[in-house]
Amino acid sequence: MGSGYWEKVLRVDLSTATVTEEVVPVDVWKKYLGGGGYGAKVLYDEVDEQTGALEEGNKLIFAPGPLQAAKQTGAAKFTVAAKSPITGIYGESAAGAGWGMALKSSGFDALIIQGAAAQPSYLVINDNSIEIRDAKKYWGLDAFDSSDQILADAGIDKASICTIGQAGENKVAIACIVVDKHSFAGRCGLGAVMGSKNLKAVLVKGSKKVPVHDQDKLTEINRDIGKTVHENTKDWLRIHGTPFVEIGCDSDGDTPTRNWQQAHWPEGAEKLGCPNYTDELKAKPHSCNSCVIGCHRDIEITEPAEYAMKGPGPEYESLGMLGNNCLMDDVKALSFMNDLCNRYGVDCISMGSFLGFTMDCLEKGYMSPDDIGGRNLQWGDKDNMIALIHDLCNVKPGFGELFVNGIVPAATKLGDKALELAPHVKGLDLPAHDPRAFFSLALNYATGSVGPHHERGNPQVATAGFLLPEAGVDSVVDRFEMENSEFVAAKYQDYGTLTQSVCHCKFMLFGGYSMSVMLESLNAITGWGWSMEDMLQAAERIFTLQRLVNVKYGVDRKDDTLPKVIFEPSVEGSRAGKCPHDFEAALDRYYDLRGWDENGIPKSEKITELGIS
Amino acid sequence: MVKKLMHQHNTKSISVKLHASLGQYKPIDADSLTFDMKISEEMTVLELLVLLSIPNEIIKMISLNDKLVKSTATLSDGDRLILFSTIAGG
């Protein structure tokens, strides 16, 4: 019998080209689980406040969790963590496909990359064989082409691969990591960190079976929950993917529109959302390993020729940010932009944020076309949007040089009025869910470990009936309720932290995968015999540790804010007259609930209670 | 709000599934969120919502026999209807 852990971490120092295997005992995993929990532990212990995100001293931690031993629906996830080049604080992003399960099956619980290679390199992990190889011939290729070529040249069957595109090579702050050409560790600029280390790709093949405590029980859980999730999602999330929610989110005033200045855009949502999306793009489901949902989209465009592409289609976040936020309603053009972002390897959320913000600044006179290479960008201006994606990813003079380090450095150069208009928290662009439509998002965005994130805490789904009764959220939440929003935000943050650390997909909640099933799975894998309280405390411990990482990097109450626009109600739509209110009082209640002091610093007694060391 | 199913004197029968938070509108004599209903001639989805006391504005998507439709769609014998409220994820 096993515990779901190898108790081994692989550390690769690219500066010295050395590879070491480190023993990490199960006691550490019991505290921090894996994924973002382990990533935070490494950053807390090893990366100090002076180290720049793109300097050699930053660490890039790839970590699956215990659930990658399960071959269970939703268990394809893994996380990547580092100090973020956008925010300068804790950065983390998750992806799926096959890479996390492959790393786990290679005999390692995590991979730490440190230093920087003298020349472009890629890493091959083939079970116990670890090799740093020359990547000069792939440098300059996009993420999809480099994936294909590296896999073909490596001569290793059924391997999984993480790559960066040109944006990561060029250290664009919003660069992402591309996994098996259909999943993306999109947020926080982790692709730029990878690029700063001259690391083009990490190819993994694992053929070992992870030892677990009770395989028979696990097999039974996997079978039952697979059927349940399939039954609950087959009519919508499987057929249409996340674009299914586009029209509903727009109707709720949830989707950012016109750089967050407009409440809704039903005529645009109708063109971007379903059924038009599914019909126009011939969209089909594409699953991560072991998943019964298949929320990713495979699409193909043949006409018009200028938007021809075949591959992963845009998800809701891309529709919201490149579409509604920019008043761009051509779903084929948007899919082409999404494909460009995927290939260059940049986060579509931040890309859409930059473009919508730029359109708004131009309209209001806070920027001139001369600031962006003479391009007279208008709302919905798809030709110039495409041109500007190229400009940013190649760091061209104008838009590229202006936004290469993120929205705050760009807005700061443009002046105070532009800075006030920039939709960010701690430098990270807001994703496509609006706190004015779901008030519990206000505290979630303001206090989130990575900044504003739609999955590190997704409290808005509590209004839709996707509840966490084991954590005390046992009834549908009113979307305009501020009074108890600290509780709802904290519980969904802890849930998000837990899923990022055991490494599981939060969409399984839509299919009926409860925290009880997660606990049952965790115990079958590890044999720990945990209670629900044990698991919830682990989640709180990890979230608090991530806060401590951020406190080390200078975060306190002054940073737990929201953009001004979030406190400006609309005059129309379903959220007319509504916006989060009494925010500072809610923040006080949130800190109190968390055991943090009035400045947002975890109190020593809370740190002791959680056993953080 | 819960209420009893209205069994009417005709032969049209449809299957209705209420998604997630719409469960609160489940008829009192339905065993689960998926239930069969008998309906009158020429009933639209909108009219069915009235029958079930579901406010139209909270319905975000409607699936009828695996096709997404508007609330003006007319229901026929044997139809499989799924009603979705806010999902807000993704």
Give the pLDDT of residue B90: 85
Give the chain A residue nearest B68 (alpha carbons): A275
Domain membership flag for residue B4: no
Give the ipTM.
0.91
Residues of A in contact with B22 (CB under 8 A): 465
Under 8 Å between Cβ of B83 and B62: yes
pLDDT in the model for residue B9:
54
Q: Among positive and negative, which fits the CA dihedral A462, A321, A187, A52?
A: negative
pLDDT 10s digits, A436-452: 999 999 999 999 999 99
What separation in angstroms does the CA of A29 have from each of A22, A154, A163?
14, 33, 27
Chain B residues within 8 A of A252 when measuring between CB atoms: 60, 86, 88
pLDDT for B3 equals: 46
8 A C-beta contact, residue A274 and residue B68: yes
Answer yes or no: do A236 and B23 touch at CB < 8 A. no
B16, B34, B68: which to substitute to probe chain A, counting the most A Cβ within 10 Å?
B68
Q: Is-contact A39 A61, C-beta < 8 A?
A: yes
Residues B7-39: pLDDT tens digits?
445 578 999 999 989 999 999 999 999 999 998
Two tokens, residue A19:
């590879």
What letter would DSSP give residue A501? Answer: I
Query: Does residue B1 sit within a domain?
Result: no
Mean pLDDT confidence for B75-84: 96
* Structure confidence at residue B10 (pLDDT): 54
- Has residue B2 been placed in a domain? no
Residue A242 is nearest to which of B66, B84, B90, comparing CB atoms? Answer: B90
d(CA B46, CA A376): 45
Q: How many CA atoms lie within 13 Å of A25's alpha carbon, on the beta-carbon side?
A: 1
Distance from CA of B82 to the nearest CA of A (A): 8
Residue B1, pLDDT score: 40
Contact B89 A574 (CB under 8 A): no
Sign of the four-CA dihedral A465, A470, A473, A474: positive
**Which is nearest to A167 in space by CA: A148, A150, A190?**
A190
User: What is the least distance, in Å, from the CA of B30 to any CA of chain A?
Assistant: 18
pLDDT at A425: 98
DSSP for A437-498?
TSTHHHHHHHH-BTBS-SSSS-GGGGGGT--BGGGTB-SPPPTT--TTHHHHHHHHHHHHHH
Would you say residue B71 lies in a domain? yes
The answer to whether the CB atoms of A464 and B88 lie below 8 A apart is: yes
For chain B, list residues whose CB is within 8 angstroms of any CB belonging to chain A: 17, 19-24, 57, 60-61, 63, 66-68, 82, 84-90
Domain limits at B38?
12-84
> Is B77 a domain residue?
yes
The domains found in chain A, sorted by start residue, are 8-205 (3.60.9.10), 242-282+295-429 (1.10.569.10), 440-610 (1.10.599.10)
Indicate which of B60, B69, B83 best probes the interface with A, i.e. most A CBs within 10 Å of its own CB. B60
Which residues in A have their CB inside 8 Å of a CB on B? 235-236, 239-240, 242, 244-245, 247-249, 251-252, 254, 274-275, 315-317, 433, 437-438, 454, 458, 460-461, 463-466, 476, 479, 506-507, 510, 574
What's the CA gap between B67 and B85, in Å, rounded? 16
Q: Which stretches of B1-90 are DSSP H helices?
A: 45-51
Ramachandran class of B42: left when φ > 0, alpha when ψ lies in -120 to 50, beta otherwise: left
CA-to-CA distance for B62 and A264, rounded, in angstroms?
A: 20
Which segments in chain A show pLDDT lower than 50? none
CATH code of the domain covering residue B63: 3.10.20.30
Residue B40 lies in a domain: yes
Nearest-angstrom CA–CA distance, A61 and A48: 15
CA distance B71 to chain A (A): 14
The most distant pair of C-alpha atoms in chain B lies apart, rounded to whole Å, by 43
| B88: nearest CB among A252, A274, A574 | A252
Q: Say which of A247, A461, A507 has its CB closest to residue B88.
A: A461
Q: How many domains does chain B have?
A: 1
Confirm if A601 and A558 have CB atoms less than 8 A apart. no
Q: Is the dihedral of CA A361, A363, A369, A370 positive or negative?
A: negative
Closest-CA residue to A151 (of A113, A178, A186): A178
Is B68 within the bounds of a domain?
A: yes
Å between A450 CA and nearest CA of chain B:
18
- Shortest alpha-carbon distance between residue A505 and chain B (Å): 11
Query: Which positions in chain A touch B87 (Cβ < 8 Å)?
Result: 244-245, 248-249, 461, 464, 510
- Domain membership flag for residue B6: no
> What confidence tens digit (pLDDT) does each residue in A484-539 have?
999 999 999 999 999 999 999 999 999 999 999 999 999 999 999 999 999 999 99
Structure confidence at residue B42 as a pLDDT band (50, 70, 90):
confident
Contact A248 B60 (CB under 8 A): yes
pLDDT single digits (tens) A550-592:
999 999 999 999 999 999 999 999 999 999 999 999 999 999 9
Work out the burial of residue A178: count CB atoms within 10 Å of its CB; fewer than 13 is exposed, 13-18 middle, 19 or more buried.
buried
